């Protein structure tokens, strides 16, 4: 007989991936069946294993949410089949999440279960909008209420008039559709129209918006601002402590859409850096990187590793692909031989460091010319064997300078190829055409060239959505200009933090 599996009722938090618990991440990554509904941030699902069965039980266009009994039946069935099941719910499973019903059925069916709490929307929205839920002087109790009226359950309706007299903080979930009647009820219950009140919509996401007002004026202001669900309504004296410019929305790129054009596998670092300062990312992977190597050259190079004076890396991809090939043939890092290591810039050096390789030479400015110059100045090239590990683009300058001025004997080993990723008809292209962006970042000349080639397929529906162009450095700027594209911003150094810095400064200046 199959051993019974286990069901985990797991809170997915309010939206920001950073607020998902470590336990939830572990379970999502290791479960065999995952049931989810309309999560505010579905990117958590990407962490599920490739053989995990994902079951969408939520509402979708033209489809009702799966009835609760059916969901429970799936949980029971899968667990009885011996599966590790995760039932993921927005926020916390026990706060307006019907986790209670599911737990009861599991208990009655004799299925083992575990419950993983999540950061519930009220707590998260309060923190991100600077509304301290309790305060020694302004509020000593907190109530979580639902504004959703279930006609079938008349008896469970919240008596807002009663809650008007608690003197504490009210957090009303699902209240935006019924805002008018909720506010009226609170006033009827004796709450003063001057009582501070706020609505936080799409809390913790880049799209978060809020209105801070009073009970009497909240409705008009929320309608004017056009706030949408999901949203939490806060009422109580503590709301008076919120400031218009809270920490979350005053980050330099908050509310800005930034298009990132790097290859998908390469964009994570830039995306993370931009998100940290509040940007919303529009992915536009104009390039793709694929391993590409000439086997004969590779075996010659690896056979002669001991003979090189220098091994030179021109990109992070180069490091990764080279070492992948290397470890296919060797078990021991020492087989790399006694060569010194040079690379084009800090980011590539960091990638080497991650593999426990120290770098002997990095030029001050990250260009192929500067790297060649620095090597030549090291006066160690004359008749020396040098291995240059590259992609298919932009390698000639380096090789020619090392051979010509430096009199070195250069072996160039291409380990990957960067190609144009054609986006026509893709979701990314559709989104870009529809929404545009505030800025588009080009981190290489090839990204510019791919953009130019695909300009017709990436034409914007509205001219007003046209992004400004941000270039990572002089070489990329040159390519932009050669293609009659304006360079609005250029990073002070050719690295990702400098790109984020120049964008932050630009948009911070605009909002002053
Ligand atoms: N179990 C969830 C609540 C589910 S009920 C939790 O603990 O958070 C759905 C309601 O939650 C929405 O109508 C809204 O009131 C609130 N909500 C969920 N995510 C939200 C978000 N990111 N911002 C604002 N409100 C949110």
The whole-number average pLDDT for the span 103-128 is 97
Identify the pLDDT of residue 60: 75
The whole-number average pLDDT for the span 114-129 is 97
CB of 307 closer than 8 Å to CB of 455: no
Single out the residue of 54, 59, 65 nearest to residue 32, CA to CA. Answer: 54
The whole-number average pLDDT for the span 480-500 is 94
| Residue that has been written with the tokens 């709450």 in this structure | 191
Together in a domain, 277 and 425 = yes
Together in a domain, 297 and 345 = yes
**What pLDDT, in 10s, does the model give residues 256-273?**
999 999 988 788 889 999
Single out the residue of 425, 429, 413 nearest to residue 308, CA to CA. Answer: 413
The β-bridge relationship of strands 231-235 and 196-201 is: antiparallel
- Of 369, 391, 420, the one marking the end of a domain is 420
Together in a domain, 133 and 30 = no
**Residue 270 Cβ < 6 Å to ligand 1:** no
pTM over the 0.85 mark: no
pLDDT band at residue 38, thresholds of 50, 70 and 90?
confident
CB of 163 closer than 8 Å to CB of 190: no
Most confident of 35-44, 114-123, 255-264, 491-500: 114-123
Most distant pair of Cα atoms in the chain: their distance: 91
Q: At what angle do helices 179-188 and 218-225 cross, to 10 degrees?
A: 170
Number of domains the chain is built from: 4
**Residue 252 Cβ < 6 Å to ligand 1:** no
Question: Residue 512 pLDDT > 70, yes or no?
Answer: no
Name the residue of 21, 41, 90 to mutate for ligand 1: max ligand atoms within 8 A of Cβ: 90
| Residue that has been written with the tokens 């002087």 in this structure | 137
Together in a domain, 279 and 294 = no
Task: Choose, from 59, 424, 466, 481, the residue flagged as catalytic.
Answer: 59
The whole-number average pLDDT for the span 142-161 is 77
The β-bridge relationship of strands 340-343 and 113-116 is: unpaired
Length of the chain equals: 512
In this structure, is residue 45 part of a structural domain? yes
| Residue that has been written with the tokens 């503590």 in this structure | 238
Q: Dihedral of the CA atoms 278, 279, 285, 288 (nearest 10)?
A: -30
Sequence-distant (≥ 6) Cβ neighbours of residue 326 within 8 angstroms: 302, 335, 336
**Strand, helix or coil for residue 484:** coil
pLDDT band at residue 31, thresholds of 50, 70 and 90?
very high
Identify the pLDDT of residue 354: 94
The whole-number average pLDDT for the span 387-413 is 89
Ligand 1: centre distance to CA 354 (Å): 40
In this structure, is residue 296 part of a structural domain? yes
Together in a domain, 281 and 313 = no
- Of 178, 211, 241, the one marking the end of a domain is 241
CATH number at residue 415: 3.40.50.10090
Question: Residue 152 pLDDT > 60, yes or no?
Answer: no
d(Cα 142, Cα 490) in Å, to the nearest integer? 49
Give the dihedral sign, CA 364/367/370/374. positive
Which strands sit side by side in the sheet containing 310-313, from one edge to the other? 340-343, 310-313, 385-390, 409-414
Identify the pLDDT of residue 188: 94
In this structure, is residue 250 part of a structural domain? no
**Which range marks the domain in which residue 408 is found?**
290-420
Question: Residue 40 pLDDT > 90, yes or no?
Answer: no
**Residue 125 Cβ < 6 Å to ligand 1:** yes
Tokens of 278: 């509040």
Together in a domain, 96 and 169 = no
CATH number at residue 44: 3.40.1010.10
In this structure, is residue 252 part of a structural domain? no
In this structure, is residue 251 part of a structural domain? no
Task: Choose, from 174, 191, 401, 413, the residue flagged as catalytic.
Answer: 174
Together in a domain, 470 and 455 = yes
Together in a domain, 281 and 428 = yes
CA angle 259, 260, 262 (to 5 degrees): 155
Task: Choose, from 37, 92, 411, 438, the residue flagged as catalytic.
Answer: 37
In this structure, is residue 304 part of a structural domain? yes
Identify the pLDDT of residue 139: 86
CB of 411 closer than 8 Å to CB of 309: no
pLDDT band at residue 245, thresholds of 50, 70 and 90?
confident
Q: What percent of the chain has pLDDT over 70?
A: 98
Tokens of 269: 């670092």
d(Cα 425, Cα 84) in Å, to the nearest integer? 37
Q: Is 486 exposed, middle or buried (0-12, 13-18, 19+ CB in 10 A)?
A: exposed
- Mean pLDDT (the chain, rounded): 92
Together in a domain, 133 and 234 = yes
Together in a domain, 149 and 197 = yes
**Residue 147 Cβ < 6 Å to ligand 1:** no
CB of 167 closer than 8 Å to CB of 141: yes
Name the residue of 121, 133, 209 to mutate for ligand 1: max ligand atoms within 8 A of Cβ: 121
Question: Residue 153 pLDDT > 60, yes or no?
Answer: no
Together in a domain, 135 and 200 = yes
Identify the pLDDT of residue 149: 63
Question: Residue 348 pLDDT > 80, yes or no?
Answer: yes
pLDDT band at residue 154, thresholds of 50, 70 and 90?
low
Ligand 1 nearest-atom number relative to CA 93: 1
- Of 118, 146, 180, the one marking the end of a domain is 118
**Residue 121 Cβ < 6 Å to ligand 1:** yes
Give the dihedral sign, CA 381/343/417/489. negative
CA angle 471, 439, 40 (to 5 degrees): 130
**Is 59 assigned a catalytic role?**
yes
**Residue 203 Cβ < 6 Å to ligand 1:** yes
In this structure, is residue 249 part of a structural domain? no
**Is 66 assigned a catalytic role?**
no
The whole-number average pLDDT for the span 237-248 is 91
**What pLDDT, in 10s, does the model give residues 166-202?**
999 999 999 998 999 999 999 999 999 999 999 999 9
First to last CA, the chain: 68
Together in a domain, 147 and 210 = yes
Question: Residue 415 pLDDT > 90, yes or no?
Answer: yes
In this structure, is residue 140 part of a structural domain? yes
């Amino acid at each position: 007989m199959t051993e019974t599996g286990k069901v985990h009722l797991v809170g997915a938090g309010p939206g920001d991936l950073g607020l998902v618990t470590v336990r939830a991440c572990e379970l999502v990554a290791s479960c065999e069946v995952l049931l989810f509904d309309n999560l505010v941030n579905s990117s958590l699902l990407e962490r599920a294993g490739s053989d995990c069965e994902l079951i969408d039980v939520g509402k979708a266009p033209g489809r009702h949410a799966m009835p609760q009994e059916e969901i429970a039946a799936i949980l029971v069935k899968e667990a009885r089949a011996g599966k590790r099941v995760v039932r993921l719910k927005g926020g916390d499973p026990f706060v307006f999440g019907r986790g209670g019903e599911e737990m009861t059925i599991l208990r009655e069916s004799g299925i083992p279960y575990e419950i993983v709490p999540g950061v519930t929307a009220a707590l998260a929205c309060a923190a991100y909008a600077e509304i301290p839920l309790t305060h020694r002087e302004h509020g000593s109790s907190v109530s979580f209420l639902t504004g959703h009226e279930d006609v079938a359950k008349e008896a469970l309706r919240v008596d807002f008039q009663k809650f008007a007299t608690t003197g504490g903080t009210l957090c009303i979930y699902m209240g935006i559709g019924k805002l008018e009647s909720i506010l009226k009820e609170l006033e009827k219950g004796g709450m003063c129209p001057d009582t501070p009140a706020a609505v936080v919509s799409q809390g913790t996401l880049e799209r978060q918006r809020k209105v801070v007002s009073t009970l009497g004026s909240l409705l008009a202001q929320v309608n004017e601002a056009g706030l949408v669900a999901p949203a939490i309504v806060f009422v109580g004296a503590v709301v008076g402590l919120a400031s218009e410019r809270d920490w979350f929305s005053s980050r330099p790129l908050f509310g800005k859409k930034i298009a990132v054009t790097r290859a998908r596998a390469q964009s994570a670092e830039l995306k993370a850096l931009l998100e940290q300062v509040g940007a919303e990312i529009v992915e536009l992977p104009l390039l793709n990187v694929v391993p590409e190597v000439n086997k004969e050259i590779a075996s010659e190079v690896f056979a002669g590793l001991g003979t090189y004076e220098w091994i030179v890396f021109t990109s992070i991809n180069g490091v990764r692909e080279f070492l992948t090939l290397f470890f296919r043939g060797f078990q021991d890092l020492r087989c790399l031989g006694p060569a010194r290591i040079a690379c084009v810039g800090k980011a590539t050096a960091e990638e080497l460091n991650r593999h426990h390789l120290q770098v002997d030479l990095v030029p001050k400015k990250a260009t192929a010319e500067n790297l060649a110059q620095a090597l030549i100045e090291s006066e160690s090239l004359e008749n020396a064997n040098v291995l240059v590990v590259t992609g298919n683009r932009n390698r000639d300058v380096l090789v020619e300078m090392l051979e010509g001025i430096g009199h070195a004997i250069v072996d160039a080993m291409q380990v990957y190829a960067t190609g144009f990723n054609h986006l026509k008809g893709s979701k990314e292209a559709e989104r870009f055409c529809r929404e545009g962006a505030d800025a588009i970042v080009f981190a290489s000349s090839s990204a510019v060239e791919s953009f130019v080639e695909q300009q017709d397929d990436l034409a914007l529906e509205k001219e007003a959505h046209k992004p400004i162009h941000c270039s990572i450095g002089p070489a990329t700027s040159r390519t932009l200009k050669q293609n009659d594209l304006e360079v609005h911003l250029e990073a002070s150094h050719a690295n990702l933090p400098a790109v984020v810095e120049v964008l932050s400064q630009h948009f911070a200046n605009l909002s002053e």
